[in-house]
């Protein structure tokens, strides 16, 4: 019985992905607990801290299939944590009390934190793979529409022309930075935890630091400089980066939603029969993927804040803030996977209408080119005077419902310096794209 969007048999494919749900599943989490206990036994036997016979016996039972998950649930509800339940089951599976060497010198949080880091490692690969695909799709759109004029908008009003490639390259630049952030945070986050009850490893009289180093090496993680039981900036950083990624995906979804409006109609999400249709209005084509992106990333941002709340931990082992991570970290990753999946689908199949883009540029009768005219007249009559003159003519154009070119060409002060052909060049959107193409190329070069 599923109660959340992520595990819903109806919604799970929209708001998450099977691969990410598998990473944060009970089965994978428990498998990671077992992996850590297995690695600990191997290393401690190698160091002579536990008998090799005990390590061999422990390792032989470190398989998820040997764990009774129903019993583990009962043990967890009774104890409050799953680790002791796992340790108890492993101990009882071993012969001749050799299982008493399971979990030697470790504490519950050591195993839990290290297992979480292993899950994060798997999850970050999935996130980065999706970002790579999104970057490729954005690069393709930026390249194809490098010089396709589209109106730029400021405060939801038409501003001056940019290019659609420029819009896509802006998003691409952010995605590339997110991939850099993921690469950089791995060094700080993919660190194991083995420190004992209060972080001092007093539980091992000898070989303490060697065990810590060997355990981390066995698991492919970095060794911590000091215990981080209640120093949680590493986990909070993961949440912060997910929040940043979500912000960029939200920006994408917002622009797609606005550009899909009937009155705009410049781009459309990929078409599939019936997708985004209304139950009462057959003509509608709703930006359905963008809606899901918006919803998912909004929750991810709140979860990022919750992970920062979890940093405010008491003393050497906390009473509650740690458990915040158990709740929100899996959900943040799963929702992010859904947002990434929807964003990738939108971008890989985005329908772009350059004709509609040009139509929207032209709908004001040249008013959106007023800055270009002002700058063109500036050398002749001064920039400030040109601004005021063009401003007045724009108001007249609106009042009289006449094209701006006619009013400009008729004005005696303007006519004294430039002819109609020169004014038409100033009013041509293709001649006022600035450095859009250059900027697109600079972003693409970073790919």
- The catalytic residues are 278, 317
Residue 51 and residue 46: Cα distance in Å, rounded? 9
Q: What separation in angstroms does the CA of 135 have from each of 88, 176, 247, 286?
A: 47, 7, 15, 25
CB 58 within 8 A of CB 103: no
CA 272, CA 208: separation in Å to the nearest integer?
59
What is the SS3 string spanning 133-157? HHHHHHHHHHHHCCCCEEEEEECCE
Per DSSP, what are the bridge partners of residue 157? 154
The residue whose two tokens read 């695909």 is: 133
Closest CA to 37 of 97, 94, 101, 92: 101
What is the full DSSP assignment across 114-133?
A: HHHHHHHHHHHHHHHHHHHH
- Residue 348: CB atoms within 10 Å: 15
Q: Which residue has the tokens 């490098």?
A: 146
Best CA proximity match to 252, nearest among 284, 296, 303 = 296
Report the candidate in 191, 236, 204 with the shortest Cα–Cα distance to residue 104.
204
Report the Cα 113 to chain-centroid distance in Å. 23
3-state secondary structure of 191: strand
Q: How far apart are CA 268 and CA 285, in angstroms?
A: 9
Residue in 34, 52, 26 with CA at minimum distance from that of residue 93: 34
Computed on alpha carbons and rounded to an integer, the radius of gyration of the chain in Å comes to 30
Q: Can you read off the two tokens belonging to residue 177? A: 């930075």
- Tokens in use for 315? 């003393």
Distance of alpha carbon 307 from alpha carbon 235, whole angstroms: 7
Which residues lie below 8 Å from residue 156, measured CB to CB, with a gap of 6+?
258
């Amino acid at each position: 019985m599923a109660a959340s969007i992520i595990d819903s048999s109806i919604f799970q494919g929209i708001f998450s992905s099977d691969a990410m749900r598998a990473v944060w599943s009970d089965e994978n989490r428990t498998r990671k607990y077992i992996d850590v206990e297995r690695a600990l036994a191997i290393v401690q036997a190698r160091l002579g801290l536990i008998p090799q016979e005990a390590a061999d016996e422990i390792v032989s039972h470190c398989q998820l299939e040997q764990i009774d998950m129903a019993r583990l649930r009962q043990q967890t509800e009774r104890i409050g944590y799953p680790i002791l339940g796992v340790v108890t089951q492993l101990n009882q599976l071993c012969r001749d009390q050799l299982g008493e060497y399971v979990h030697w010198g470790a504490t519950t949080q050591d195993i839990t934190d290290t297992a979480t880091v292993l899950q994060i490692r798997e999850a970050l690969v999935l996130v980065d793979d999706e970002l790579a695909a999104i970057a490729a799709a954005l690069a393709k759109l930026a390249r194809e529409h490098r010089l396709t004029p589209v109106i730029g908008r400021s405060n939801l009003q038409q501003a001056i022309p940019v290019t659609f490639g420029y819009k896509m390259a802006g998003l691409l630049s952010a995605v590339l930075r997110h991939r850099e952030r993921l690469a950089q945070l791995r060094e700080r986050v993919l660190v194991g935890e083995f420190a004992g009850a209060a972080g001092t490893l007093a539980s091992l009289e000898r070989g303490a630091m060697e065990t810590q180093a060997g355990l981390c090496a066995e698991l492919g993680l970095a060794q911590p400089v000091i215990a981080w039981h209640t120093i949680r900036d590493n986990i909070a950083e993961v949440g912060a980066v997910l929040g940043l990624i979500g912000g960029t995906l939200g920006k994408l979804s917002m622009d797609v939603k606005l550009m899909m409006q009937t009155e705009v109609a410049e781009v459309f999400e990929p078409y599939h029969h019936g997708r985004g249709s209304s139950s009462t209005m057959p003509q509608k084509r709703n930006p359905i993927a963008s809606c899901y992106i918006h919803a998912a990333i909004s929750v991810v941002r709140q979860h990022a804040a919750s992970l920062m709340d979890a940093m405010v931990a008491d003393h050497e082992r906390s009473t509650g803030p740690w458990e915040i991570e158990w709740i929100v970290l899996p959900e943040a990753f799963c929702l992010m996977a859904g947002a990434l999946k929807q964003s990738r689908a939108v971008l890989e199949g985005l329908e772009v209408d350059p004709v509609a883009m040009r139509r929207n540029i032209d709908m004001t009768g040249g008013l959106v080119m007023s800055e270009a005219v002002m700058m063109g007249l500036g050398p002749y009559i001064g920039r400030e005077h040109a601004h005021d003159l063009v401003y007045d003519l724009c108001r007249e154009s609106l009042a009289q419902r006449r094209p701006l070119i006619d009013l400009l060409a008729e004005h005696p002060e303007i006519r004294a310096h430039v002819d109609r052909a020169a004014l038409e060049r100033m009013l041509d959107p293709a001649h006022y794209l600035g450095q859009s193409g250059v900027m697109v190329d600079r972003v693409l070069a970073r790919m």
